[in-house]
Chains A and B, each alone.
Chain A
Amino acid sequence: MTGDATAAIETRGLTKRFGSHAAVSGIDVTVPRGAVFGFLGPNGSGKTTTIRMMLGLAAPTSGTIRVLGHDMPRELHSVLPRVGALVEGPGFYPYLSGAANLRRLDTADRFAPSATRRARVERALERVGLTHAARKKVHAYSLGMKQRLGIANALLTPRELLVLDEPTNGLDPQGTREVRNLIRSLAAEGTTIFVSSHLLAEVEQVCTHAAIMSAGELVAQGTLDELRGVGRSELRLLTPDAGLAIHVLGSFGLSAETTDAADGSALVTATLLGQTAEPDALVAALVGGGVRVRGFSIERPSLEDRFVALTGEGFDVVQ
């Protein structure tokens, strides 16, 4: 990954202490322009604190932040109009309608022209599918609707960078899909998207890059393939002829292991390292060798495996 001046976000040694506790300790994040960057980590690992510092809401204890090529928080006034954000859940005036809330927040941005305010608000509401509820008071909104209104707020003016903190929080599966599609279409328009989440499947489906936080430190960063570990995929074969299969796979230089599966079959697994035979050739050889193939798949390790390996299992996450 390059650390050139055109990175959308670049932090160096970014640290935030609350008293003696370091919420974020010395992280170097580089978000390339045009990337959909997943910012992963268990709850309490410092994701939101990092985002707050990137947006100038909190001052770093030490370290530097450059957003769209400008120092934050020093050049906040020229940077933030080009950035849309959803931080730690939506925040709205419950006694105002959805549209009135967006107009209100839009007046806070001195670069947002008043002449097009109504049209831009309508367009943003349409984009997140809230046109029907535009005149409804926000206290009558469901959590998912508030979340979508929060995303609409981030889309009021054309943005070069979107920072979305847990954008699918509180959304039902349809809403989650819509947000994913929205992220894809925004990314296709060239917007850099920085999305924090603890939902790995989310990140895996939309992101091109990711970083993993654990206990305030950055434990991994790179493209999704780099993170998963390219080439370290696993072969899974379901067959009653385990011994024969191990022999055939051995002739390809693969060391296989067997575990018992249902219906008198055995599950044969082998790690594929780098350049090995094509899956098609492997199946042909197995069948040719008299192995009854009941199931065959090549599985790449999920981001989840990598995530758990880096941040700990279950409730034992590093604090």
Chain B
Amino acid sequence: MSSDAVSEVASSVSRGRPSVGWALLGSEISVLFRRRRTWAMLAVLALVPILIAIAVRVTRSTPNGGRGPAFLDQVTQNGLFVGVVGVLISIPLFLPLTVGVVAGDSIAGEASAGTLRYLLIAPVGRVRLLIVKYLAAAVFCLAATLAVVVAGTLIGIALFPVGPATLLSGDVIGVPETLIRSLLVSVYVTISLLGLSAIGLFISTLTDVPVGAMAATIVLSVVSQVLDSIPQLDWLHPWLFTHYWLGVGDLLRQPISWDSFGSNSVLQAAYIVLFGALAYGRFSTKDVLS
């Protein structure tokens, strides 16, 4: 295309109707997954179940049922559970760590790179930017969870026998059913991380220092888990965004108990609304001086 033709095209369409703006979401997700940091975090997450599986395989010891996370003792009989074990081990720290990095970086990272002002004068629209940033963080939550579950399931199939699995309720389910349960666990864990993402997004609007926002988000997830383990504060527990994080077990009973799934979803939605509103309140009127 000659340059004249290009400028002609550009001038003829430039003042048309605005697009809905899916291009920005696509761009946001592609930028997220073009960063080496994102892939490094996903690789570390995938290593968690791989290391567990190798450790169990090499020592050939069957940990006794009382110690270690649920299902660890089942791994040697059924490799399909490695993914679920990996995700249970990653929930308290590894997953919130990576989600904290992505959510905390969302606005503060753009501010510190100097790209925030260029997005705003494009003009991106401040609300639209918050929504796109949040959706990208949610996509990362899913990718992070799947990295653990998929890597765990694959290494499990490679190192251990595959067959019917025994659930917490004592029932036995077949291979396809086990894979479906693993996917359900992934969905549960992804939803569990959505509240934390909203908190990270809000903190990210408060500062131009991305590391600070990341650290604050991660610390909050740890604090919430500590509070959740103090029995004297049991009145507070149902309100903590980490309260249902380890409720995954309910999906591994027969029949499935949907209680924690429902309560968790409602709780996470409440956190999204609350911190989404706070992020909007802060960011929509903020002077961008970075």
Interface residues of A, Cβ cutoff 8 Å to B: 52, 55-59, 76-77, 80-81, 83, 85, 87-96, 100, 103-116, 119-120, 122-123, 126, 153, 157-158
Residues of B in contact with A, size category: 35 or more
List B contacts of A123 (CB < 8 A).
Answer: 3, 6-7, 10
Which residue of B is nearest A101, CB measured? B115
B123 touches A77 (CB 8 A): yes
Q: Is the CB of A120 within 8 A of B6?
A: yes
- A107-B10 contact given A93-B113, A95-B35, CB 8 Å threshold: no
A168–B10 Cα gap in the complex (Å)? 27
**Selected A-B contacts with CB under 8 Å, 29 pairs:** A56-B123, A57-B120, A57-B287, A58-B288, A59-B285, A59-B287, A80-B122, A87-B117, A87-B121, A89-B114, A91-B115, A91-B118, A92-B113, A96-B34, A104-B27, A105-B115, A105-B118, A105-B119, A105-B122, A110-B18, A110-B125, A111-B16, A111-B19, A113-B14, A113-B16, A115-B13, A116-B6, A123-B3, A126-B3
**Cross-chain contact B9 with A95 (CB below 8 angstroms):** no
Q: Known contacts A80-B122, A83-B121, A107-B27; can you find 18 more A-B pairs with CB under 8 A? A: A57-B117, A57-B121, A80-B123, A81-B123, A88-B117, A91-B115, A95-B34, A96-B34, A104-B31, A105-B118, A107-B23, A107-B26, A108-B118, A108-B122, A110-B18, A116-B10, A119-B10, A158-B7
- What residue in chain A is nearest B114 (Cβ atoms)? A91
Known A123-B3, A126-B3; judge A110-B19 contact (CB<8 A): yes
Q: A108-B122, A109-B122 are in contact. Are A58 and B287 (CB under 8 A)?
A: yes
Q: Is B35 within 8 A of A110, CB to CB? A: no
Residues from chain A with a CB closer than 8 A to the CB of B223 are none
Which of these, B15, B21, B114, B120, contacts A90 with CB under 8 Å? B114
A residues less than 8 Å from B36 (CB atoms): 95
- Give the chain B neighbours of A89 by CB distance below 8 A: 114
B229 to chain A, nearest CB (A): 39
In the bound assembly, the distance between CA atoms of A95 and B113 in angstroms comes to 11
Q: How long is the Cα–Cα vector from A158 to B288 in the complex, in angstroms?
A: 25
Q: Is B233 an interface residue (CB 8 A)?
A: no
Q: Do B27 and A103 touch across chains, with their CB atoms under 8 A apart?
A: yes
Is B124 among interface residues, defined by CB-CB distance under 8 A? yes
> B51-107: which residues lie under 8 A (CB-CB) from chain A?
none
When A59-B285, A158-B7 are in contact, do A108 and B31 touch as well, CB less than 8 Å? Answer: no
The docked-state distance in angstroms from the alpha carbon of A113 to that of B6 is: 12
Closest Cβ of chain B to A311, distance in Å, is 24
The docked-state distance in angstroms from the alpha carbon of A126 to that of B4 is 13
Measured CB to CB, the closest approach of chain A to B205, in angstroms, equals 15
B118 contact set on A, CB distance < 8 A: 87, 91, 105, 108, 153
A108 touches B14 (CB 8 A): no
Least Cβ distance of B3 to chain A in Å?
6
* B15 neighbours in A (Cβ, 8 Å): 81, 111
The residue in chain B whose Cβ has the minimal distance to the Cβ of A54 is B121
| Complex alpha-carbon distance, A115 and B6, angstroms | 11
Q: Point out the residues of chain B lying under 8 angstroms from A55, CB to CB.
A: 117, 120-121
A153 to B124, CA, bound (A): 14
- Chain B residues lying within 8 Å of A93, measured Cβ to Cβ, are 31, 113, 115
Which A residues lie within 8 Å of B122 (CB)? 80-81, 105-106, 108-109, 112
Residue of A nearest to B120 (CB): A57
Contact A80 B121 (CB under 8 A): yes
A52 CA to B116 CA, complexed, in Å = 13
Interface residues as binary, B8-45 with A (CB distance below 8 Å gives 1, 0 otherwise): 01110111101111011011000100111000000000
Quote the shortest CB–CB distance from B50 to chain A (angstroms): 27
Q: Residue on A with the closest CB to B289?
A: A58
Q: Closest 7 A-B residue pairs measured CB to CB?
A: A91-B114, A108-B122, A110-B18, A108-B124, A80-B123, A58-B287, A107-B23
A102 to B6, CA, bound (A): 16
Q: State the CA gap A90–B121 with chains docked (Å).
A: 13
B115: A residues at CB distance < 8 A: 91-93, 105
CA distance A191 to B117 in the complex (A): 22
| B180 beta carbon closer than 8 Å to chain A | no
Residues of B contacting A108 in the complex (Cβ-Cβ under 8 angstroms)? 24, 27, 118-119, 122-124, 129
Q: Which residue of B lies closest to A76 (CB)?
A: B123
Chain A residues with Cβ below 8 Å from B7 are 123, 158
Task: Say whether B289 contacts A52, CB under 8 Å.
Answer: yes
B34 surroundings in chain A (CB, below 8 A): 95-96, 100
A76-B1 Cα distance, complex, nearest whole Å = 33
Specify which chain B residues have a CB less than 8 angstroms from the CB of A52 in the assembled complex.
Answer: 117, 287-289
CA–CA, A94 and B3, complex, Å: 28
With both chains docked as a complex, state the minimum distance between the C-beta of B29 and any C-beta of chain A, in angstroms: 11
Could you tell me the distance between the alpha carbons of A123 and B2 in the complex, rounded to whole angstroms?
9
CB-defined contacts of A110 to chain B, threshold 8 Å = 18-21, 125
